[in-house]
Structure 1
Amino acid sequence: MPYHLVAFLVAALVVLWSTPIVKKIGLKSGYVDMPNPRKVHKRPMVRLGGISIFMGTQIALLIVAISGGFGDLPPASASEVWGVVIGGILYFLIGLADDLFTLTPWSRLLMQFAVAGMAWGVGVRIDFVTLPFSDLGLINIEWFSLPLTLVWLVGMANAVNFMDGLDGLAAGISGISAVVMLVVSLFIDQPAAALLAAALAGGALGFLRYNFNPAQIFMGDGGAYFLGFTLAGIGVIGLVKTVTTVAVVLPFVILAVPIFDTSTVVLNRLRRGKSPFSADKGHLHHRLLDAGLSQRRSVLLIYAIVFWVGSLAIAIAGIPAGNAYALGATLLLCYAIWRAWQRLQEPRT
């Protein structure tokens, strides 16, 4: 049975079916995101769409598991998969609690580190790193594994949340990244991680039906935290765990856009003496809007960048025709940049 296709389709169909229901419940209960000067939307928007993404992904994984799609995983692999799944559930609950009750930044961060520590304890951990442009190969980081893994898992969850600033941006980035992880995980013979990626990709891309500009609903912190943690976890158990010099760098390449954006914004805030949690308009999508691009053009340009770095990961992994994919993605990115440049040269009205 093509379990990966089943996981993708089930997740997408559940999201497509459940999102309008979640929207109605959100409107009746008043859980909406109100407009303000920092935000782009102009009317109240339901912020509970992450419930649909979460439901779609979990139902897809449950159906695949019941059907035997995960096979007979060895105990170590099973604990890693459970670590990502349960960790994703807990991250979703943290984000949902914030959507419903507005938690303080430090309480959210404390809970996120606690859950990431639990995931590390069951095997979702980075044990090796490789230095770029070095002949040292893989380096066993030993005791440094815990802090590095915590920063990776917590950082990616918040990075995806930070990117959720324009219609369809976080969902599209997550969906593209999950598809790339699916392809790479299958190629390097990590079918369990690939199943997680397939379900996540279906959930994220299915949500775009209602979240792409003009959006009808937002995913909220629940959806963003769930997507970010699960992507980071898949990167660890599906790529880093293969213990090859090439595979170790792949998650960082695939997720380079949210990593770079969040790192730049946080460092700029700290440099100005502000809290890393303080809201501003320093993100890439804000800068593209300020330059004169529309929401949709800004999002499509960032999609092209994410697709491009994903194609680089496919080429680095040695997948057949990977270089051709990377060339095609490069041409697509050049076209997107050219179109954006044309738009910026048009006189503003």
Structure 2
Amino acid sequence: MKLFIICSIPFIISYALSRVVIWRSAGWGLIDLPNARSSHSVPTPRGGGIGIVSGIIAGVAVVYAAGLERFTSLAWLAALTAAMAVTGFVSDRCNSPVRLRLAAQLTMALAAVFILGRAGISWPGALIAIGIAGAVNFYNFMDGIDGLAGAQAAIGGAALAAFGFITGQSWLIFSGLIMAGAAAGFLALNVTPAKIFMGDTGSYAIGFFFACVPLLDGRLFVPVMLVMGTFLFDTIVTLALKPGRGIRWHEAHRSHFYQRAVALGYSHLQVTAAMGALTILFSAGACIYLVSQATAVKTVIVAAELSALVLCAALISKNRRGLA
């Protein structure tokens, strides 16, 4: 019952505030207008991340108010995530310049490395901060069709909770359940046809949240990457191919594998469900990776996931060429 309540409160807060954003979006300047590179055809409210982050903050507040957790880093994780969300909100509201956004992301990432990772000024710390900022943008790039980013966050949160049970860490259980609940509350309004998008407010916060978790326990680095495998693979491969297509890394486009799948005729729901199923499978593999002490088993899990992703990408590319 305790865990159910911890998951339910973020869900309710996220859903309710997302409803408020839908109602007030025009007055707040939070309307996403479709363009040639959009995957939607009608103006849609954005800023659902306000609900997600509010749900996270509420969930963490309940955990501490009830005396369920003494590990203060969970509170810092929530606070830093909220600060990153503010950066996203400014982008949603004002479409701030790319350099300004990157500077803000790197600043928050460095703060996370210093506070959560307890690392001083060093080259390794700087590289980790760059990686966190990269993860923020990766998640943002993958927020392009109805339900996809919300479902990934909900499944990823459940995976973190599972990691918490495996490692016996209550803060990890709570953080996972809170993220899963907050993401699910938003997702209820984001499934096809989406009534609201999470916007940069949500994608920045979620990408940052998952990237920062391994700072609190280094054992979680590979498992978290396995859970986020679909997003990481799609983004890294797409970015690698961008220069050859004459597209700048930060420019909007429709060349991600999930976007290509939609172009092939699959619905947003079908693509989201397929990627969600892969993420559930990869999350199970991540749990085995975390439990296993055998290097061979861990190697097989990583190789199997990478092989599955390469196969999916090859099938999409082959069908796209056939369609052309």
Q: How would you bin the TM-score normalised by the shorter chain?
A: 0.7 to 0.9
Aligned twin of 1:50: 49
* 2:40 pairs with 1:67: no
- Letter in structure 2 aligned against 1:86: A
* CA shift digits 1:95-114 (9 cap, x unpaired): 00111111011110110001
Is residue 38–residue 280 contact of structure 1 (8 Å, CA) maintained in 2? Answer: yes
Match of 1:323 in 2: none
Match status 1:312 vs 2:311:
no
Match of 2:170 in 1: 191
Q: CA deviation at 1:162?
A: 0.8
Q: Contact conserved, 2:116 with 2:215, CA < 8 A, in 1?
A: no
SS of the residue 1:222 aligns to: helix
71, 85, 107: which one pairs with 2:78? 85
Alignment of 1:296-311 (within 5 A): 296-311=269-284
Name the CA shift for 1:179/1:125 in 2 (closer, same or farther; >3 Å).
farther
Distance 1:248 1:99, change over 3 A: closer
Q: CA deviation at 1:318?
A: 2.3
Answer yes or no: is 1:279 the counterpart of 2:278: no
CA distance in 2 between counterparts of 1:248 and 1:224 reads 20
Instruction: Using the TM superposition, name which of 40-49 and 184-193 deviates more.
Output: 184-193
- Tell me if the contact between 1:50 and 1:222 (Cα under 8 Å) persists in the aligned partners: yes
Find the aligned partners of 2:80 and 2:226 in 1 and give their Cα distance. 23
How far apart in 2 are the matches of 1:160 and 1:248? 17
TM-score by length of 1: 0.79
1:135 maps to what in 2? none
Measure, in 2, the Cα distance between the counterparts of 1:221 and 1:215: 16
Could you tell me how far 1:201 is from its partner in structure 2? 0.9
Counterpart mapping for 1:88-107 below 5 A: 88-107=81-100
Pairing of 1:20-35 with structure 2 (within 5 A):
20-35=19-34
> Which amino acid in 2 is paired with 1:258?
F
Correspondence 1:169 to 2:169: no
- Aligned partner of 2:275: which letter? I
CA offsets 1:57-100 (integer angstroms, 9 cap, x no match): 111111111111113x3xxxx3x334422220111000001111
- Extract unaligned runs of 5+ from structure 2: 293-300
1:178 aligned to 2:178? no
Hey, what does 1:290 align to over in structure 2?
263
Structure 1: how far apart are the matches of 2:27 and 2:175?
Answer: 33
For these two proteins, the number of residue pairs brought into alignment is: 303
Counterpart residue number, 2:101: 108
Contact 2:147 2:268 in 1 (8 A): no
- Are residues 47 and 105 of structure 1, via their aligned partners in 2, closer, same or farther at CA, if it must alter by over 3 Å? same
**Residue 205 (structure 2) pairs with residue 205 (structure 1):** no
Corresponding position of 1:262: 235
1:12 Cα shift? 0.6
Q: What is the deviation of 1:166?
A: 0.3
Tell me, in whole angstroms, the C-alpha distance in 1 between the residues paired with 2:203 and 2:256: 16
% same residue = 24
Alignment correspondent of 2:134: 155
TM-score by length of 2: 0.85
Per the alignment, do residues 215 and 248 of structure 1 end up closer, same or farther by CA in structure 2, a change over 3 Å counting?
A: closer
Counterpart Cα distance in 1 of 2:156 and 2:118: 20
Is the 8 Å Cα contact of residues 83 and 124 (structure 1) preserved in structure 2?
Answer: no
> Using a 3 Å threshold, how does the CA distance of structure 1 residues 299 and 248 change in structure 2: closer, same or farther?
closer
Q: Does the CA contact (< 8 Å) of 2:60 and 2:74 recur in 1?
A: no
Contact 1:51 1:223 in 2 (8 A): yes
Compare 50-59 and 150-159 and name the one that shifted more: 150-159
1:275 is displaced (CA, Å) by 2.2
Pairing 1:219-238 to 2, within 5 Å after superposition: 219-237=198-216
1:197, 1:234 within 8 Å by CA — same for their partners in 2? no
Task: State the shift of 1:144 in Å.
Answer: 4.4
- Decide whether aligned partners of structure 1 residues 54 and 22 sit closer, same or farther in structure 2, where only a CA change above 3 A counts: same
Q: 2:197 aligns with which of 213, 218, 222?
A: 218
Q: Aligned residue for 1:136? A: none
In structure 1, the residue corresponding to 2:251 is in which secondary structure? coil
Aligned to 1:252: 225
CA distance in 1, matches of 2:114, 2:52: 26
Give, in whole Å, the separation in 2 of the partners of 1:186 and 1:44. Answer: 42
The amino acid of 2:281's aligned partner reads W
